[in-house]
Structure 1
Amino acid sequence: MIGIWASIFLTLIAVVLFAMDILAMELVAIGIIAAGLLLAVILPEFGIAFPEPEALLTGFASPALITIMALLVVGQALFRTGALTGIVDKLLQSGHGIPRSALIMLALFVAMIVSAFMNNTPVTVVFIPILVGLMRGIMPASRHMMALSFVSVLGGMTTLIGSSTNLLVASTSASINGPIIGFFDFFVPGLMLAGVGAAYCLFILPHILPDREGEEALLRNQGKQYVVRLSITQGHPMEGANAVAGLFPDLRDITIKLVMRGNQRFLPPYDGITLQDGDEVVAAATRERLTEVLAKTGSEENQDMVLAEAVVAPGSRLEGRALGATGFAQRTSCIVLGLQRRARMIRSHPNAMYVEPGDTLLLAGSADAMKELARDPDVLLLADSIGEVPPRQKAPTAMAIFIATVALAAIGILPIVVAACLGALAMVVSGCIQTSQAVRAFDTRVIFIVASSVALGHMLEQTGAAAMIAHGLVYVAEGLPPYMLASLLFMVVAIMTNLLSNNATAVIFTPIALGLASTTEGSATLFLHATIFAANACFATPIAYQTNLLVMAPGHYRFGDFVRGGLPLVLILWLTFSIMAAFMYE
């Protein structure tokens, strides 16, 4: 019993510390693993059963963890190359006039439908960058990223192949001479639960979650516009843009202030002007938008270019001189792409502007040139502003690798862990992402959370704690009507699936569900469905399911955010199923 209670105590401590968010997740996870290892050494000396130390460390080599890490690399390569930007742009163009929030809801709805017929992990991977693109510029990614994980799980509750949990319950039931579960046997109740859950995810969850600001949100909120000079060449992304009602509506986040064509100069409002090869344009653009334009040019010189911002220091040698006459580019090997000044509207050519202290320069150059610039006394380099120009010429390659990875896993040709690892390797080898960038894509919180959850799972299973909880349910529920017993079973399984893995929970509780049905002479279908739906209710912790861990990094979530957003959903599904159990099952 000591081993059982030690496992339960460590599990409760882990959940409380993770939820309170007082200590770093990595520190809590390491502490739990260390405590488990200590018990694994001490308790067997006294004849107390406890998992081997090696078993408690298997989480670091867990296929789920390897899959998540590999998919994070694949996702980062897609984001870096802008491979899905075209899809998002087409979606926005085809939905012109439709509110962005409606397009986000449509994307979530599609993700839920697709998840009913294929593994929800690759579905989530596909829709993460699409949602990021739809939310960019209008809201933090934390607003809807958790909903993506939740709706993909909800969609998987409607068919037999929607999740591995469903298949495990079906196979376990068949192996112990229980009812055979067909493809659409639980489609109607699953659809009802998915509908209620989706309504919560779309209309309530975004208002519960805090706005987590990442790097992109920081750039968005700054909203700084730089005055830049752009040369329109053949194939330039701005070539062919037409002026309508005095403006260029096709040029998102770019304001044209002057068009120079040979000896002609055009000022707003523009009338019947189409940008063409050879034009010189003075424009105001955000750094994010300018980065996109530079990336889409696809020139070889942009491949290793990084962008950075620098503030002109007081007493700088640049002060009072025209930007083009300072010799700054020749001296520093950094090109001045634009200048930002908050004080007043600027329409003149950037090179003709006189530099003032406090002006912010948008610079482009090599990484080595930026390191040298950090020692230049004339400007103050903003270290946090350094970022590369995405290699958009690699976008088709990245997209092809991504499609192949998802297809191999979805069709079942390769296990998802193998397909994900091959996809990550292909992204690095093809140059879609550098090795250092791939390493930075790893989220240490995910690594240690998965490792600690696997360790806790071994403790609960091998000490008999999980079995004790399950049999305790049978004892407590004696004499209850079948529908009330099924409701209680749902709640216990839902709690366990958020602490243990959902697959382990499904395997443990399927025989118990059939035993309860036999004891109470209730419907075996009722108790099996309760097990399936409850084992899929893995919303209250990030460790409960892979898709939660996948959205944790792009959504900038903490452990407590899943408790705040997922626990109400678990309770809503429990109440909905309890009502259904009383009326839908005989």
Structure 2
Amino acid sequence: MIFSFEMFLSFTLIIFSIIGYSWKKFPIDAVSISVLGLLFFLFEIFPVEGLGFDNFIAGFSNQGLLTVMALLVVAQGVYSTGILNTFVDNIMHLNRDFKTDRTTMLIILLLIVAIVSSIMNNTPIIIIFIPLISIIAEKMNLSISKALIPLSYAGILGGMTTLVGSSTNIIGAEVASDLGVKNIHFFSVTIPGLFIAIPGILFVIFVLPKLMPDRKKSKNIIASESNNFMAQIEVNINNELIGEEITNGKLELLKDMQILMIQRGEHSISPYIKTKIQTDDIIVVSAARKTIESALIKFGDQLHPTIDAENNHYYEPDDKQHLAGEQVLVEALISPQSRMAGRELEETRFRRLTNCIVLGIKRNTRIIREQITNIVLEEGDVLLIQGSKKSIENIKNSPDVILFDYTSSILPRKKYARRSLIIFLLTVFGIASGIIPSVAAAMIGASAMLLFRVLSAERAINSLNRHVFLTIVAMLALSSAIEATGLAHYGAYHVIQFFDNSNPGIILSVLFLFVALMTNFLTNNASAALFMPLGISIASSLNLDPIPFIITIILAANCSFATPYGYQTNLLVMAAGNYKFKHFIIGGIPLTIICWISFSLFAPWYYGLY
């Protein structure tokens, strides 16, 4: 078989892609657009029959890509309502009720991450679990750096077990469909995926932490006392804190907060006197912003200080207008010469004038033990403010406060949690059952998140990852070139010649190892799209069912363990755990070898390739 000039062009673009995606000086988007541009240019000058402009832009309407993008919107809908936070809180309550030791709790959480990652995008899951596992690690005196890489790996392994567990799986299945193999379904990867995931998870839980560095604290995960806000919780009749006993300024259910005082009617109670929480108590606390955000999801408007109607006669205490629309949390500095300085928060009538709520006050000079509504504000105080986007925007024009735009974050819309969960479960059921095409189920689910107001249009658009989008489009176009120029058949021919008379199971094993190594230099999605034509060509040349080769490419492309750049969740934990590149090599190479050996022992027997 002759290596043609057109094959050389395709091969050159593969090498360019590998170098571009692995050399992080080049932005991923720039590499993807460059690949597309070079494909248009080179094959316009050197045309190939059956390969043209339409083939290269077909990726923009690829069903797999549309499915991935729609599922990102669905996942954002679930994440934005805080339902994952609620789920995690319930798990932590089990830990408290059954007195589970911290090591066991960490194992349970990693297993939960793996299981949940099998049915939804794992990036929001990892974002939720990073601070949680950080807290657990601190409490059990475990180095945070021993827990976060295992967290990412658990999510990746879990994502291998169903079609929707990873965008890699969906893209691989869709490329295979474009090449004529259309019978990849929701559970097609489940059994072989489990035979990889189970030994992989065991390694992640029991061995990997021993290979990780020993650093006691992560960067920017646990805030220092000096950076904490003073806030208050007004205990209503349904609050689970009722009956809980304060010990040395701490409550078990508020273990990440320092109790400063309890206001009970006219009496102030020291947190160092043993006392049980009662209805209508006001608990004044010191806590990091992230902790206050989590408490806001849990306790809702019990963190909203009650306004005295006498001081705010134009404001109705039961008026919920300030809670209308998507809520934003932002920090603001009381400016020099501010009219608010020298006045109590309640006296400023801030809520009536701005339609925003002050949740907390930060004063770097000292901690004040009184209700935040009674604190006399000073220039330089930082306020933690909640309000609608429009209300927050209006504050920018106020001469009294300086808004820190970069601190802005959108609060979970807890009241839509149930509908987001229903939409998510129906979407997964639609894809799993095959009643309707996967792309239709995903698009309906994404549309429902907008229709039922779980997500705003702006937030849905922001959930679409342009890096993923452009990488997939570029690799789908390059995949078309590899197939049309005959490079895939050329590669398959020489692989078969090299392994002449070898067991097909050996070829499957070598293919898995090759793709698993390459996916660490490309991205997981790029690897699935790029090497799928090769896998199908090898199966065709051997006159074998292409399904085992397709599943091999999909699962191997997920094995982005050995570099932080191959998978998005690796980058997330790299920053949080203060890891270096070598730590992913130390943990990722053994895990890749375990996955390869597990697959090599199982796949030939399962698919009958002896």
TM-score (norm 1): 0.76
Q: Deviations over 1:305-328 (max 9, x none)?
A: 432211223444444444444454
> Post-superposition shift, 1:420?
1.5
- Tell which deviates more after alignment, 289-298 or 408-417: 289-298
Q: RMSD of the alignment, in Å?
A: 4.6
Query: Do the aligned residues in 2 keep the contact of 1:493 with 1:509 (CA within 8 Å)?
Result: no
C-alpha distance in 2, partners of 1:93/1:251?
A: 12
1:59 is matched with 59
TM-score (norm 2): 0.73
1:394 is matched with 416
What is the one-letter code of the residue matched to 1:341? Answer: R
2:266 is matched with 263
Which residue of the other structure, out of 441, 450, 465, is the alignment partner of 1:428? 450
C-alpha distance in 2, partners of 1:155/1:67?
A: 18
1:29 is matched with 32
1:407 is matched with 429
1:84 is matched with 84
2:309 is matched with none
C-alpha distance in 2, partners of 1:453/1:352?
A: 60
SS in 2 for 1:536: helix
What is the one-letter code of the residue matched to 1:308? Answer: V
Q: Deviations over 1:203-225 (max 9, x none)?
A: 4499789x9xx9xx867557732
C-alpha distance in 1, partners of 2:357/2:416?
A: 24
What is the one-letter code of the residue matched to 2:75? Answer: G
1:305-344 equivalences under 5 Å are: 305-344=327-366
Query: Do the aligned residues in 1 keep the contact of 2:75 with 2:120 (CA within 8 Å)?
Result: no
Query: Do the aligned residues in 1 keep the contact of 2:76 with 2:460 (CA within 8 Å)?
Result: yes
- Tell which deviates more after alignment, 136-145 or 87-96: 136-145
Task: List alignment gaps of at least 5 residues for structure 1.
Answer: 158-162, 176-182, 516-523, 543-547
Q: Deviations over 1:330-380 (max 9, x none)?
A: 554443332112322321232333333332112233333322322333322
Q: Deviations over 1:403-450 (max 9, x none)?
A: 111122223323322222111111111111111111111111011011
Which residue of the other structure, out of 249, 253, 258, is the alignment partner of 1:250? 253
SS in 1 for 2:229: strand
C-alpha distance in 1, partners of 2:431/2:503?
A: 43
> Post-superposition shift, 1:582?
12
C-alpha distance in 2, partners of 1:540/1:484?
A: 19
2:283 is matched with 281
1:511 is matched with 540
1:441 is matched with 463
C-alpha distance in 2, partners of 1:583/1:433?
A: 46
Q: Deviations over 1:266-303 (max 9, x none)?
A: 22224342230x33332223333333444443767424
C-alpha distance in 2, partners of 1:343/1:240?
A: 33
What is the one-letter code of the residue matched to 1:357? Answer: E
> Post-superposition shift, 1:35?
0.8
1:459 partnered with 2:481: yes
Query: Do the aligned residues in 2 keep the contact of 1:3 with 1:50 (CA within 8 Å)?
Result: no
Distance 1:84 1:4, change over 3 A: same
SS in 2 for 1:308: strand
Distance 1:438 1:529, change over 3 A: closer
What is the one-letter code of the residue matched to 2:157? Answer: V
1:150 is matched with 156
Distance 1:562 1:408, change over 3 A: farther
SS in 1 for 2:491: helix
1:102-501 equivalences under 5 Å are: 102-109=104-111, 120=118, 122=120, 131=129, 134-135=132-133, 143-144=149-150, 146-152=152-158, 155=161, 193-202=196-205, 203-204=207-208, 221=223, 224-235=227-238, 237=239, 240-245=242-247, 247-276=250-279, 278-295=280-297, 296-297=299-300, 301-304=322-325, 305-478=327-500, 488-492=510-514, 499-501=527-529
C-alpha distance in 1, partners of 2:38/2:479?
A: 14
Q: Deviations over 1:87-128 (max 9, x none)?
A: 21111221335466654543544676799xxxx554858966
Q: Deviations over 1:422-479 (max 9, x none)?
A: 1111111111111111111111101101101111111111111111111111223347
Distance 1:72 1:485, change over 3 A: closer
Task: List alignment gaps of at least 5 residues for structure 2.
Answer: 137-143, 164-168, 182-186, 302-319, 576-580
> Post-superposition shift, 1:81?
1.0
What is the one-letter code of the residue matched to 1:152? Answer: G
What is the one-letter code of the residue matched to 2:449? Answer: M
Query: Do the aligned residues in 1 keep the contact of 2:512 with 2:596 (CA within 8 Å)?
Result: yes
C-alpha distance in 2, partners of 1:280/1:194?
A: 48
SS in 1 for 2:78: helix
What is the one-letter code of the residue matched to 2:54? Answer: E
1:74 partnered with 2:74: yes
2:305 is matched with none
Q: Deviations over 1:135-180 (max 9, x none)?
A: 47566997456424531355569xxxxx899999x99xxx9xxxxx
